[in-house]
Amino acid sequence: MADIIKLLPDHVANQIAAGEVVQRPASVVKELLENAIDAGATLIKLIVKDGGKALIQVVDNGQGMSETDARLSFERHATSKISNAQDLFNLQTKGFRGEALASIAAIAHVDMLTRTEDYEVGTHLKIEGSKVVSQDIVATPKGTSIAVKNLFFNIPARRNFLKSNQVELRHITDEFHRVALVHPAIEFHFYNNGTELFNLPKANERQRISHVFGGKMTERLVPVGEDTEVVKISGFVCKPEFAKKSRGEQFFFANHRFIKSPYLHHAVVSAFEGLIKPDVFPGYFLYLEVDPKSIDINIHPTKTEVKFDDEHTLYAILRSTVKHSLGQFNVAPVLDFEHDPNLDTPYAYKEKDAVLPGVTVDAGFNPFKESVKAPKSSSPVQKQSVKGWETLYQGLEMDEMAAFSSLEIESETEVQGSIYGDAEVETPSGITFQLQRKFVVSTIKSGLLLVHQNRAHERVLFEKFLGEITVKEGISQQLLFPLEVSFSKQDLEILKEVKDSLYNVGFAFENLDQETVKVTGVPVLVSESGIGTVLDRLIADYKEGYEVSVLSQAELIAKTLSKNLAIKTGEILDNESQLALVHDLFGCKEPTLSPSHKKTYTIISDGDIEKKLN
HEC readout, 354-390: CCCCCCCCCCCCCCCCCCCCCCCCCCCCCCCCCCCHH
Q: Do 226 and 94 share a structural domain? A: no
Neighbour count for residue 305 (Cβ, 10 Å): 14
Mean pLDDT of the chain: 81
Tell me: do 193 and 223 sit in the same domain. no
Structure-model confidence comparison of residues 146 and 167, the more confident one: 146
188/244 same-domain check: no
Same-domain check for residues 496 and 561: yes
Flag whether 590 is in a domain: yes
Tell me: pLDDT of 472 over 80: no
HSE on the CB side for 10, CA within 13 Å? 10
DSSP designation for 197: E
Q: What is the pLDDT of residue 102?
A: 85
In a domain, 519, yes or no: yes
- For residue 19, name the pLDDT band (cuts at 50, 70, 90): low
C-alpha to C-alpha distance for 145 and 41, rounded to whole angstroms: 12
For residue 416, the model assigns a pLDDT of 42
Q: Which residues constitute the domain of residue 242?
A: 212-327
pLDDT score recorded for residue 222: 92
Residue 125 covered by a domain: yes
Q: How confident is the model at residue 585 (pLDDT cuts 50, 70, 90)?
A: very high
Q: What is the pLDDT, as a whole number, of residue 420? A: 46
The pLDDT confidence band at residue 200, using thresholds 50, 70 and 90, is very high
Number of domains the chain contains: 3
Instruction: Look at residue 334 and tell me if it is in a domain.
Output: no
pLDDT band (50, 70, 90) for residue 327: confident
Instruction: Identify whether the C-beta of residue 482 lies closer than 8 Å to the C-beta of residue 519.
Output: yes
Q: Does residue 217 share a domain with residue 147?
A: no
Instruction: Assess whether 216 and 191 both reside in one domain.
Output: no
Among the ranges given (278-282, 373-377, 444-448), the one the predictor scored with the smallest mean pLDDT: 373-377
**Which region among 50-59, 74-83, 475-484, 569-578 has the lowest average model confidence (pLDDT)?**
74-83
Q: What is the percentage of the chain residues whose pLDDT exceeds 90?
A: 35
Distance separating alpha carbons of residues 322 and 314, to the nearest angstrom: 12
Rounded-to-integer distance, Cα 40 and Cα 93, Å? 11
Read off the pLDDT band of 100 (50, 70, 90): confident
561 pLDDT band (50/70/90 cuts)? Answer: confident
The pLDDT tens digits of the residues spanning 496-546 come to 888 888 888 888 888 887 778 899 988 888 888 788 888 888 887 777 655
Residue 378 pLDDT greater than 60, yes or no: no
CATH number of domain containing 572: 3.30.1370.100
Residue 203, pLDDT score: 92
Confidence (pLDDT) at 388: 63
Helical pair 531-548 and 165-182, crossing angle rounded to 10 deg: 110
Shared-domain flag, residues 190 and 296: no
The domain boundary residue, chosen from 312, 327, 342: 327
Please report which confidence band the pLDDT of residue 20 belongs to, taking 50, 70 and 90 as the band edges. Answer: low
What pLDDT was estimated at residue 9?
Answer: 76
Residue 258 sits in a domain of what CATH number?
3.30.230.10
Strands 187-192, 43-49: pairing is parallel
CB distance 241 to 233 below 8 Å: no
Question: Could you tell me where the beta strands, DSSP code E, fall in 42-184?
Answer: 43-49, 55-60, 109-115, 122-128, 131-138, 143-149
Instruction: Evaluate if pTM is beyond 0.75.
Output: no
Asked whether 37 and 317 are in contact (CB, 8 A), the reply is no
Q: Does residue 187 have a pLDDT over 90?
A: yes
Residues 222 and 188 in one domain: no
pLDDT at 601: 93
Give yes or no for a contact between 153 and 109, defined as CB atoms under 8 angstroms apart.
Answer: yes
Q: What is the pLDDT of residues 117-157, one digit of tens each?
A: 989 999 999 999 888 999 999 999 999 999 999 999 888 88
Between residues 191 and 79, the one the model is more confident about: 191
> Could you say which of 200, 225, 254 is where a domain stops?
200
Residue 614 pLDDT: 76
Q: Are residues 188 and 301 in the same domain?
A: no
Q: What is the structure's pLDDT at 137?
A: 93
> Any idea what the CATH number is for the domain that residue 183 is in?
3.30.565.10
- Looking at the structure, tell me whether residues 193 and 98 fall in a common domain: yes
Please check whether residues 263 and 192 belong to one and the same domain: no
pLDDT of 86 over the 80 cut: no
Instruction: Judge whether 124 lies within some domain.
Output: yes
Domain boundary among 282, 299, 327: 327
- Structural domain includes residue 406: no
CB 301 within 8 A of CB 20: yes
What pLDDT score does 285 carry? 96
- Quick check: 33 and 58 in contact, CB under 8 A? yes
Give CA 226 to chain center in angstroms. Answer: 29
Whether the predicted pLDDT of 444 surpasses 90: no
Asked whether residue 254 falls in the same domain as residue 314, the answer is yes
Overall average pLDDT of the 382-398 stretch: 59
394 inside domain: no
Residue pLDDT, tens place only, 394-428: 655 555 555 545 555 444 444 444 444 444 556 56
Q: Which residues of 230-249 are buried (b: 16+ CB within 10 A; e: fewer)?
A: bbebbbbbbbbebbbbbebb
559-579: average pLDDT = 89
Please tell me the predicted confidence (pLDDT) of residue 414.
44
Residue 155 belongs to a domain? yes
Cα(455)–Cα(598) distance, integer angstroms = 7
Least confident of 165-169, 353-357, 597-601: 353-357
Q: Are residues 45 and 191 in contact, defined by beta-carbon separation less than 8 angstroms?
A: yes
Contact 512, 493 (CB under 8 A): no
Q: What is the rounded distance in angstroms from the CA atom of residue 475 to the CA atom of residue 468?
A: 9
Q: What interhelical angle do 453-471 and 553-565 show, nearest 10?
A: 140
Q: Where is average pLDDT lowest: 101-105, 453-457, 540-544, 546-550? A: 546-550
Give strand ranges (E) for 154-292.
Answer: 187-192, 195-200, 221-227, 232-238, 250-254, 258-259, 284-289
